[in-house]
Structure 1
Amino acid sequence: MSAKADPHNQRRFYGWLSLACLVLVLDQASKLWAQTSLQYAVPAPVTGFLNWFLIYNPGAAFSFLASSGGWQRWLFTVLGTAAAIFMIWYLRRHQNDTLLSLAISFILGGAVGNVIDRLVYGAVVDFIDLYYGQWHWPAFNLADSAIVLGAALIIWGEIRPKRASTPT
């Protein structure tokens, strides 16, 4: 029986895809909440370091290419879609690596969430504003947080001490 036809592997793969879908649903629900509860570009203080702050980012991370006239919407949509397809393929191949699969699931859910925003709104919905004094981190969303968490897990998986494998 091939590894791909193994029902245990199928369940594991679909479990990782389900986690990515959960990230996607939480991301989209939080963005819907932000759009229906917040006024555009008006800070809603939460703590001494956090505001809810609804904005639309037509660019990439840190508003890269945000004022480029609109073509970037399609570039980032295509790149996000291609990345999602690659991640599904990669997840399928590495579904038994728990830490890597967890990381890829977070990144996949976040990437698809931001692609949906670009298709529906022409920009990514951001609403989390962290700050210290007068310094504000660029606004972001749960999809961005999931992508960063997934990337951090991949880095952690590469730098952590490896356990010696025991022969079976």
Structure 2
Amino acid sequence: MRKFTAGLYLVPILIAVDLGAKFWAIQNLGGIAEAVPLAPGLSLRLVSNPGVSFGLFAGSPWPVTLVTAAMTIALMVWFARSRLEREYVAIGSILAGASSNLIDRLINGAVTDFLSFGGLDAPLFTNNLADIWITVGVVILFGGALLELRKTVPVRGNHPS
């Protein structure tokens, strides 16, 4: 039960951090045309993304919003029904990222991205903290599943004949 509670507290904290970072980005990067370098391969650049990853479906904001809302509700149900401790933090991270991007989309009509990865003149992609929460959650989820699978599947070829 403690892991569930920890995951439950994690969700609003991660949402608040992401929305706060987006607010900061809008206030401080809005009038800047050029990327602000932070480290090699990482810069700040304000982008409003009405679509999903890489700007896909940018011309369909309401269908994207409805699908995002449905997926967020499904994540809430999965989180509440999960009995595996490793899933609480993973699903909580994914849920926080999805919820924060949904809130941003409902308020601003698009998702605010500001972390650019790649070159200053030609970034590979630009995302936000919510996208990082989602990615980390997916890695934890799949990593845990692979470790569990490794425990249950016998290894072939290492046994003497």
Q: Which runs of 4+ in 1 moved over 4 A?
A: 132-135
Conserved? CA contact 1:40–1:55, under 8 Å:
no
Equivalent residue, structure 2, for 1:151: 138
Please state if 1:19 is matched with 2:19.
no
Q: Percent identity?
A: 31
Q: CA RMSD in A?
A: 2.0
> Gaps (5+ residues) in structure 2?
154-161
Equivalent residue, structure 2, for 1:121: 108
> Gaps (5+ residues) in structure 1?
1-8
Equivalent residue, structure 1, for 2:75: 87
Opposite residue 82 of structure 1, the aligned amino acid is: A
Aligned counterparts, 1:24-43, within 5 A: 24-38=15-29, 39=31, 41-43=33-35
Conserved? CA contact 1:84–1:112, under 8 Å:
yes
Aligned counterparts, 1:44-83, within 5 A: 44-66=36-58, 68=59, 72-83=60-71
* Helix, strand or coil at the partner of 2:46: strand
* Helix, strand or coil at the partner of 2:40: coil
* Helix, strand or coil at the partner of 1:86: helix
Whole-Å Cα distance in 1 between the matches of residues 124 and 16 of structure 2?
A: 25
Conserved? CA contact 1:43–1:52, under 8 Å:
yes
Conserved? CA contact 2:4–2:85, under 8 Å:
no
Equivalent residue, structure 2, for 1:4: none
Please state if 1:104 is matched with 2:91.
yes
Opposite residue 89 of structure 1, the aligned amino acid is: V
* Helix, strand or coil at the partner of 2:44: strand
Deviation digits for residues 15-71 of structure 1 (CA, Å, limit 9, x no counterpart): 3222111111111000011011113543111122111000100110111022x2xxx
Whole-Å Cα distance in 1 between the matches of residues 110 and 32 of structure 2?
A: 14
Aligned counterparts, 1:128-147, within 5 A: 128-132=115-119, 135-147=122-134
Bigger mean CA deviation after superposition, 100-109 or 73-82: 73-82
Per-residue deviation, 1:162:
2.7
State the TM-score, normalized to the length of structure 1. Answer: 0.80
Whole-Å Cα distance in 2 between the matches of residues 133 and 29 of structure 1?
A: 24
Per-residue deviation, 1:133:
7.5
